[in-house]
Amino acid sequence: MALFTPEGLVEDQAIRVDDEAPLPKEGLVMVSVARWFDAAKEEPGRIRGLVLRTDDPVDGLPPDLDRIEFEVERFTDGRVFTQARLLRRRHGFRGVISVTGPFLPDQAAHLFRCGVDAIVVPDDVDPEPWARTVARFPRYYQSAARGVGVRI
Amino acid sequence: MYQYDAIDQEIVDARVEEYRDQVARRLSGALTEEEFRPLRLMNGLYLQLHGYMLRVAIPYGTLSSRQLRALAEISRRYDKGYGHFTTRQNIQFNWPKLVETPDLLADLAKVEMHAIQTSGNCIRNVTTDPFAGAAADEVEDPRITCEIIRQWSTLHPEFAFLPRKFKIAVTASPHDRAAIAVHDIGVRVVDDPEEGPGFEIWAGGGQGRAAYLAALVRRFLPRARLLSYLEAIMRVYNRYGRRDNKYKARIKILVNSMGAEAFTEEVEREWQQILAEEAPVDVPQGEWDRVGAFFDLELPPAQEAEADDTHPGFARWRDVNVVPHRRAVYANVVISLKPRGGIPGDASASQMEGVAELADRFGQSEIRVTHQQNLVLPHVRRRDLSALHRALVELDLATANLDQASDIIACPGMDYCTLANARSIPIAQSISARFDESREAEIGKLNIKISGCINACGHHHVGHIGILGIDKRGEESYQLAIGGSHDENAALAKVLGRAISAEEVPAAIDAIIEVWMGHRLEGETLPRTVQRVGLVPFKEKVYGFVHA
């Protein structure tokens, strides 16, 4: 998989590990919240990212992770926008926020404006429609966790 | 009225191009219908029984004469020469072609109009008092608050994919003409003697399958804190509103399942956290002043004299359709879109152009759309009323029936809508055709509202008489309810009994009116009579016996 970011497509280096699978020795290892609670005790430092669901709370997460990813089943599940917004602005998370799920290119600008850094897309994705929607609006009415164009 | 600056125009123009791109991707197959659906809905495009329908936003129901002329032209070019004004102060075109809708929107953008968020699970067009800025009893013009909310809610990145649609209404008068009790959020502008300018905030009202009246969540919110408080409500709803069942997804269900008190506590907690963050969303007083200046209308002086007119129909029309203005020498004129036996809310292109002309001649080039599907010409000199009436007669727009039995709200029903179980428009026509002016003068104010299904677009829950179309073993049938209202004494109508056939509806309406007139005290509305005497006398008359 690749990542679509405001700067374009980049390689996704995450290694997502199932709850039952052994942890790799190195790399950007990402696990579920449940796994993190178990594994953090045994192998501190090995896990560098978490995969959250849209009904998971975003407060009380470890602050020094490199990445937090939201896994979304339906693109209409708008909870992820609030999660990203809170994680970035209220809880001050400084790592990468990514999302994975059946998102439409039309949602990219909203996601980025809520504080998301990267959207997981297939390797062979045509980035053109995604880039178009991000560049579409010269300004917005609201301030954003990322971006410009603030009026109020 | 508000006028776009470069930022407003850029945003609307960019939205047209975004939508054009989305339509092109749908036509090329890059988007599936399932993917396209929420995108087109967020731009007001529905797929109905016979084709697409486009709902155009009329922010807080205010139009300039130039905009109304543009709507007339659009109805000729892209539709069949008419438009349908809705209960949310918008206009719908029933016959556009999908491929032409981007051009239609580009034409709208030329007159500072759009279809942004007129549908979909997002914050919809904000509605308000149709007499805003012209009412005698308002604290200030509620459209200032509406415009601030419009800008904040337009393309809001966090709240574009809510559990369900979200409707905000604003009133600035003690007499609520915006029905705030049946909205997801109701805002009442107040000027508190101790606290100063601010708002009363209500939440959790709504119609649809299960109707709820809103709960008061904050008695006083300082003006400066409006947007952060709305953000807190939206965030609590976005996080905790149900997403597993679309019939349980409105905020009214969340408020009622949590309890109004617990919901309020959650909102207040979220709000405090927002206020503690850097740069909360609230707008400074300067922005309120900037927006407020657009609505600061200097009315030209007018003479006291009221022209007397004895031509047919004038006196009754003046008594019924003319509403007091904040200045005694002026009046607000309601133009009924409810011809007896006609389709509620429809206006032809030439009628729209005619009204635009009259707004230029007799008003301030401004027109309002009411949530009862009529139009208003605000700021008319009283001495011009007779000339205006004659001109309206020429346009077939002089029906004198504001708030009368024939002033019926009806949804499009099964004539257009894929959700409907029964037809609404023919029922409205069969009822309104039975009442003439002299009969209505005897009856007095009476609101009849008709929905073709339980989604309640015709607001039947808050009608003095509410009529709900249902499918009863494959037959179109109608359930009657009485005693609803949507003003400051908001109440939900109570179901009378078993559903009846379309043919039986007019006689049943007559029976309800007869019982009401027999029991009512001086000046008593139907809801008051129902509260006082109960349903039994009505049931007896309508059904001939009392149901268990």
Nearest to B543 by CA among B494, B483, B480: B480
pLDDT (0 to 100) of residue B313: 92
CB-CB contact of B162 with B238 (8 Å): yes
pLDDT (0 to 100) of residue A34: 87
pLDDT (0 to 100) of residue B548: 41
pLDDT (0 to 100) of residue A148: 37
Q: What is the pLDDT of residues B448-476, one digit of tens each?
A: 999 999 989 999 999 999 999 999 998 99
Question: For residue B50, what are the contacts with CB-CB under 8 A and spacing of at least 6?
Answer: B94, B95, B416
Beta sheet of A67-71, edge-to-edge order: A8-11, A2-5, A118-121, A96-100, A67-71, A49-53, A28-32, A14-16
CB-CB contact of B200 with B219 (8 Å): yes
Instruction: Give the mean pLDDT of B421-439.
Output: 95
Distance between CA atoms of residues B463 and B459, nearest Å: 7
Q: What is the DSSP letter of B98?
A: G
Residues in chain B: 548
- Residue of A81, A85, A133 with shortest CB distance to B18: A133
Residue B547 has pLDDT above 70, yes or no: no
Instruction: Give the mean pLDDT of B401-420.
Output: 93
Distance in Å, alpha carbon of A109 to nearest chain B alpha carbon: 8
E-assigned strands of B144-283?
168-171, 185-192, 196-203, 215-222
The pLDDT confidence band at residue B416, using thresholds 50, 70 and 90, is confident
This prediction's pTM: 0.94
Burial tier of B404 (Cβ tally within 10 Å: 0-12, 13-18, 19+): buried
Nearest to B115 by CA among B55, B52, B46, B71: B55
Phi, psi of B17 (to 5 degrees): -70, -35
Angle among Cα B78, B81, B85 to the nearest 5 degrees reads: 95
**C-beta atoms of B11 and A141 within 8 A:** yes
pLDDT (0 to 100) of residue B305: 67
Q: What is the pLDDT of residues B120-150, one digit of tens each?
A: 999 999 999 999 999 989 999 999 999 999 9
Instruction: Give the mean pLDDT of B345-356.
Output: 98
Q: What is the pLDDT of residues B482-521, one digit of tens each?
A: 999 998 888 999 999 999 999 999 999 999 999 999 999 9
Distance in Å, alpha carbon of B283 to nearest chain A alpha carbon: 6
Distance between CA atoms of residues B382 and B330, nearest Å: 5
Nearest to B409 by CA among B353, B336, B356: B336
* Residues from chain B contacting residue A76 (CB–CB below 8 Å): 38, 121, 161
Angle among Cα B354, B392, B485 to the nearest 5 degrees reads: 105
The pLDDT confidence band at residue B306, using thresholds 50, 70 and 90, is low
* Residues from chain A contacting residue B235 (CB–CB below 8 Å): 82
Provide DSSP, B221-239: EEGGGHHHHHHHHHHHHHH
**C-beta atoms of A141 and B25 within 8 A:** no
Q: What is the pLDDT of residues A58-111, one digit of tens each?
A: 998 887 899 999 999 999 999 999 999 999 999 989 999 999 999 999 999 999
Q: What is the pLDDT of residues B41-74, one digit of tens each?
A: 999 999 888 889 999 999 999 999 999 999 999 9
pLDDT (0 to 100) of residue A152: 31
- Residue of B10, B30, B160 with shortest CB distance to A139: B10
Distance in Å, alpha carbon of A25 to nearest chain B alpha carbon: 36
**C-beta atoms of A114 and B157 within 8 A:** yes
Distance in Å, alpha carbon of B84 to nearest chain A alpha carbon: 30
Taking an 8 Å Cβ-Cβ cutoff, which residues of chain B contact chain A?
Answer: 7, 10-11, 14-15, 17-18, 21-22, 25, 30-31, 35, 38-39, 121, 148, 151-152, 154-163, 227, 235, 238-239, 243, 273, 277-279, 281, 283, 287
pLDDT (0 to 100) of residue A25: 87
Q: What is the pLDDT of residues B362-396, one digit of tens each?
A: 999 999 999 999 999 999 999 999 999 999 999 99
**C-beta atoms of B239 and A82 within 8 A:** yes
Q: What is the pLDDT of residues B251-276, one digit of tens each?
A: 999 999 999 999 999 999 999 999 99
pLDDT (0 to 100) of residue A41: 65
* Residues from chain A contacting residue B161 (CB–CB below 8 Å): 75-78, 81, 107
Q: What percent of chain B is predicted at pLDDT more than 70? A: 99
pLDDT (0 to 100) of residue A147: 46
**C-beta atoms of A129 and B21 within 8 A:** yes
pLDDT (0 to 100) of residue B98: 94
pLDDT (0 to 100) of residue A149: 36
Distance in Å, alpha carbon of B151 to nearest chain A alpha carbon: 6
Q: What is the pLDDT of residues B111-120, one digit of tens each?
A: 999 999 999 9
Work out the angle between the directed axes of helices B536-543 and B505-519 (0-180°, nearest 10): 140
Distance in Å, alpha carbon of A2 to nearest chain B alpha carbon: 20
Q: What is the pLDDT of residues B89-125, one digit of tens each?
A: 999 999 999 999 999 999 999 999 999 999 999 999 9
Average pLDDT, rounded, for chain B:
94
CB-CB contact of B434 with B511 (8 Å): no
The pLDDT confidence band at residue A150, using thresholds 50, 70 and 90, is very low
Closest B-chain CA to A129? B21
* Residues from chain B contacting residue A143 (CB–CB below 8 Å): 279, 281
Taking an 8 Å Cβ-Cβ cutoff, which residues of chain A contact chain B?
Answer: 75-79, 81-82, 85, 89-90, 104, 106-107, 109-111, 113-114, 129, 132-133, 136-144, 151-152
Q: What is the pLDDT of residues A42-52, one digit of tens each?
A: 676 788 999 99
- CA dihedral sign, ordered A30, A36, A38, A43: positive
